[in-house]
Amino acid sequence: QVQLVESGGGSVQAGASLRLSCAASGLTFSRSTMVWYRQAPGKEREFVAGISRSGGSTNYANSVKGRFTITRDNSKNTVYLQMNSLNFEDTAVYYCAANSGGYSWVPDAMDFWGKGTLVTVSS
């Protein structure tokens, strides 16, 4: 069974940093486009960052560009999201998702989703 397990969330003050991890199992990780999404209370799910199979291409939401960095380690079947200069607008549940057969980063293209990890940023 495919599993995506996020970790690294927590409660921090504005300006702090967190590193999220997503450990994948049950799929060929190196063939999967990996994506981070987030959902804040009362808001729709939002794309955060995506990374191609080899890690050669990345994409970021404008709201996190320059602050967040997505990376992957195919030898460890893990994708990371380094989050710097966190602010209150970053408060959300962060979800890891995988597109096992394509290159798209849109939610409808994702085959598998993790259960999420909560990030809370206080001012």
Q: In whole angstroms, what is the distance from residue 68 CA to residue 46 CA?
A: 14
Check if the beta carbon of residue 91 is closer than 8 Å to that of residue 119: yes
Residue 103 has pLDDT above 90, yes or no: no
> Hey, what are 103's tokens?
């290159």
Q: Which pLDDT does position 79 carry in this prediction?
A: 98
pLDDT score recorded for residue 101? 84
Write down the pLDDT at residue 123: 86
Q: What is the pLDDT of residues 54-81, one digit of tens each?
A: 999 999 999 999 999 999 999 999 999 9
- Which is nearest to 5 in space by CA: 86, 27, 13, 69? 27
Residue 49: how many CB atoms within 10 A of its CB?
A: 24
Q: What's the chain's average pLDDT?
A: 96
Which are the contacts of 33, defined by CB distance < 8 A and separation ≥ 6?
50, 51, 52, 53, 98, 99, 102, 103, 104, 105
